[in-house]
Structure 1
């Protein structure tokens, strides 16, 4: 097991803190770290894709689980696979897809671990059908504060606290995942433009769930009659015939390291999450951002159906490009993700208008439509609309502005995503998550000495 002292941040590269990082290769080594933890506790960490401070632990210990990356043999008949928590979703897809298998929930990046997907209970673009990631976990191995490894099953209080629990109930070491069978590595994709937010929501709703995957990019720099205009993209798994028809022109999955250079994936105007090419940070001001968004909107088709696209490009288009941190300058980025319920569309309208009026240089903004709430006490997804956007952390007055948006979201019964958070106030989080009191009580019983801590848990009093 390697040990070093490092400065860590989230993917947003804000608020760096220093911790002792342990890289265990076995469950026994991970348990030894938990038993020998210092007074500042320990938290698990995967590939560092959480935008905020959920996987940081200033002055304490961090368990880097990327060395625990075994994948067991998939059981096609039972539709399950057992894997370690440090396995990346990109690698898992690389192993499963040639067997015609796929995790039922595929988030917008493959560069995160199975343990991170469970601890964040990530939703995908088919949440209305499939729910979030942890809903498809049939068992998990959890290293608890006493240094013991427990098998935790769905339907138990500990499972519901761990799913979306941000690593604060213990260290997820491995999981058994239920799988979906697919006929090919291709997707059939439909795209359409909407001239404003009303039209975008109407098109989203009118399509129902005829295609399971749906997401929309919103131009948050457009104002006036074009406020909230966007591009709606839907997809479904293609039949095997489409696979054979395009086998010579498409790659099953991106090559390892493809994100470091030119990709064979479709360009920035295609792909469910509208992958962004890197731009010089000095160009990311309100004017250039508006010009870039306008070109992106006008470059999309007014309506197109049945476009074949490789599965990896559809789900993980942004992974084909280098990390876009140059866009946001030295201060890093703030990812703000919130959801409001159906019937609260006016709140979504007001937030979009406020961002547009402020002329914030937002080039990434993704809208999802969620279904039934997940059972995790701190799971983010709930029935309604979810908007995720990235903003430069150095924008003047950004903290005060987002505090105001928090209040508006909370007043509408909505919530911000804690897994992406880096700045929400504790009283706001408590108002948004009714299961927080139960979560704290379970934590106090299971971990009275506070073995598992993070910068986020101290900031929000979790």
Structure 2
């Protein structure tokens, strides 16, 4: 069948099988020449598409054990983050790290070592994985942790499913008193002011900025910075008496029923929207639900249809602090003049990555969405050069088109990762369209 990532570009044909047990999974892997595991298909590019066969892991969806004292939860790899939150938030627990959507699997979160709005404070999702079970192409299953098979553990965290199939994981949840967030909104006059605000507020548990990619001059990259904290029960009762402690926000929201016409998101409509959003924003301190703060896009089901049938490219890079102040304005200047500007742009600060191919490094990351067009690829090639010259790299879970030389320049532990793959018999067996394209 034809598969794509969430960006709907590129599309590839792959044979899809859906194993339902470890025994069935082992049997399949022993007899399939080339394959990769896939979760809920929410990586943006081609990471979840097998070069031969794609193993759909969503039937591995059982929650197997929870220790309320330690917050340790053992689940199968296909469990959805949304189901985990629905089950444990009413009990006062929340994942330590979440990405921008809750419709991802736990196995996918580990494979991408996803980062959230709190990476500067607590690291990535992999930093909160206590152990995992990994199945090799031979069908053998091994336990990996920081003490057992530690090198393989580090290769699997952020390894994009290329070291084996994650079957099960034990992760640590954090204790929360309510399902509410205290959100403080601060305006930044340009991109460098936004970076300064994020850096100055690294004491905040969560911090993220929305960026206007069409503003120019002194307002280049003007932003809204959102600082967040989990709300205590006392604070909730004081500021919003009568509110439910854990608001029920299940469901996928209003659905986009069809592919939007290509002219819907253009320079004029995006410029008008950005200007209105920035003008209406005021510095304020308010209480919002967990879904509104962490997963605003989930309120619009199938929002990827807004980019039309050709799909879109998500482009996310990170730059070290030493070069960010120089390179970011150059990148924003390139974007501000393009014919197909980014509708969504998110800025964050990051700490050190936890795995051999983990995306984060101490620095600043910017994520951008571009509609697929004939001209967008030359723009992204120019951005690649700026990122590499600045000592940065691109996020593999968002990538759909970078070249091998860009990848190799950004990931200094690649040779160690390749050695790990050879040692377990994954080279030539575990392959995605991403790994073929960037020559892992």
TM-score, with structure 2 as normaliser: 0.95
Q: Distance in 2 between matches of 1:400 and 1:64?
A: 34
**What corresponds to 1:364 in structure 2?**
344
Is 1:185–1:243's contact at 8 Å kept on the other side of the alignment?
no
Q: Distance in 2 between matches of 1:163 and 1:75?
A: 23
- Aligned with 1:288 (options 269, 286, 289): 269
Is 1:279–1:324's contact at 8 Å kept on the other side of the alignment?
no
Q: Distance in 2 between matches of 1:313 and 1:84?
A: 27
Distance 1:321 1:146, change over 3 A: same
Deviation string, structure 1 residues 217-269 (Cα, Å, up to 9, x no partner): 0000111222110110010010112444355468624223335389xxxxxxx
What is the RMSD computed on CA atoms of the aligned residues?
A: 1.8
**What corresponds to 1:61 in structure 2?**
53
Q: Does 1:355 align with 2:349?
A: no
Q: Secondary structure of the residue that 2:224 maps to in structure 1?
A: strand
**What corresponds to 2:144 in structure 1?**
152
Structure 2 unaligned blocks of 5 or more: none
Equivalent residues in 2 for 1:54-453, closer than 5 Å: 54-58=47-51, 60-154=52-146, 156-209=150-203, 211-244=204-237, 245=240, 247-248=242-243, 252-260=247-255, 281-301=262-282, 303-305=283-285, 307-344=286-323, 345-371=325-351, 373-394=352-373, 396-447=374-425, 450-453=428-431
Q: Secondary structure of the residue that 1:353 maps to in structure 2?
A: helix
Q: Distance in 1 between matches of 2:345 and 2:70?
A: 38
Is 2:179–2:289's contact at 8 Å kept on the other side of the alignment?
yes
Per the TM alignment, residue 199 of structure 1 is displaced from its structure 2 partner at its CA by 2.2
Q: Secondary structure of the residue that 2:79 maps to in structure 1?
A: coil
Is 1:80–1:179's contact at 8 Å kept on the other side of the alignment?
yes
Q: Distance in 1 between matches of 2:84 and 2:363?
A: 30
Q: Secondary structure of the residue that 1:91 maps to in structure 2?
A: helix
Per the TM alignment, residue 325 of structure 1 is displaced from its structure 2 partner at its CA by 2.6
Is 2:345–2:368's contact at 8 Å kept on the other side of the alignment?
yes
Is 1:80–1:176's contact at 8 Å kept on the other side of the alignment?
yes
Q: Distance in 1 between matches of 2:293 and 2:248?
A: 11
Q: Distance in 2 between matches of 1:406 and 1:283?
A: 27
Q: Distance in 2 between matches of 1:316 and 1:282?
A: 26
Q: Distance in 2 between matches of 1:436 and 1:77?
A: 38
Per the TM alignment, residue 20 of structure 1 is displaced from its structure 2 partner at its CA by 1.3
Is 2:162–2:426's contact at 8 Å kept on the other side of the alignment?
no
Q: Distance in 1 between matches of 2:182 and 2:301?
A: 26
Q: Distance in 1 between matches of 2:53 and 2:370?
A: 30
**What corresponds to 1:11 in structure 2?**
6
Q: Secondary structure of the residue that 1:66 maps to in structure 2?
A: coil
Is 1:70–1:87's contact at 8 Å kept on the other side of the alignment?
yes
Is 1:105–1:132's contact at 8 Å kept on the other side of the alignment?
yes
Deviation string, structure 1 residues 25-75 (Cα, Å, up to 9, x no partner): 11111111111103xx111001100101001124x1111111111113421
Deviation string, structure 1 residues 116-170 (Cα, Å, up to 9, x no partner): 0000001111001110101111100111111111111125110111010000001
Moved more, 307-316 or 440-449: 440-449
Q: Distance in 1 between matches of 2:71 and 2:7?
A: 36
Per the TM alignment, residue 410 of structure 1 is displaced from its structure 2 partner at its CA by 0.9
Aligned residues: 434
Moved more, 196-205 or 412-421: 196-205
Q: Distance in 2 between matches of 1:309 and 1:299?
A: 18
Per the TM alignment, residue 290 of structure 1 is displaced from its structure 2 partner at its CA by 0.9
Moved more, 245-254 or 288-297: 245-254
Q: Secondary structure of the residue that 1:283 maps to in structure 2?
A: coil
Is 2:177–2:232's contact at 8 Å kept on the other side of the alignment?
yes
Q: Distance in 2 between matches of 1:250 and 1:229?
A: 35
Q: Secondary structure of the residue that 2:322 maps to in structure 1?
A: coil
**What corresponds to 2:27 in structure 1?**
32
Structure 1 unaligned blocks of 5 or more: 1-5, 263-277
